[in-house]
Amino acid sequence: MTRLAPNFTFEELTHTNHRGLLDANRELGRNHIGSIRAVAEMLQEIRDHFTSPVIVHSGFRCRGLNTAIGGSAYSQHVKGEAADFHVLGVPLGRVFDWVRNESGIKYGQLILEGVAADKPTWLHISLGEPFRDESKSRQAMTWDKTNGYRRV
């Protein structure tokens, strides 16, 4: 196991249930270890604050995996710069509000998304500066089927 932060490993941030793509995803993920580590460090701050496990739904996705799941061609996941997650036992809205209003985490985008029965099911967080240009820093958004992405 390659530890990226006290509670996060490379294997966790490159995991996929698409078994045919797991080895390729991990192999190609090694090319993005710096950005994957930076994402793990953001997730660690969140875990430390809430003192509860952070469950990673999706971290790095190689192009093949990203295509297989219908991800955007411009997704920061393909550069190891993003993760989708939730904090065990903590409402998504509470985590969303803390990260954007109180945490000081230098995220690029923070999105309350993932819709099941018209309710958010995860948070997306991506790197901002210095990994991305300033135009993609501190964007907080929500997403739903009716309205799409909306800045908050």
Is pTM beyond 0.95? Reply is no
* pLDDT the model gives residue 81: 96
pLDDT tens, position by position, 29-79: 999 999 999 999 999 999 999 999 999 999 999 999 999 999 999 999 999
Between CA 8 and CA 83 the distance in angstroms is 12
Reported confidence tier of residue 134, pLDDT bands at 50, 70, 90 = low
* Residue carrying structure tokens 């903590």: 90
pLDDT of residue 26 exceeding 80: yes
pLDDT tens, position by position, 66-119: 999 999 999 999 999 999 999 999 999 999 999 999 999 999 999 999 766 667
Q: Please report, rounded to a whole number, the percentage of residues in the chain having pLDDT higher than 90.
A: 79
The sign of the torsion formed by the CA atoms of 18, 23, 28, 29 equals: positive
Between CA 66 and CA 44 the distance in angstroms is 24
* Residue carrying structure tokens 């904090």: 87
Between CA 139 and CA 125 the distance in angstroms is 10
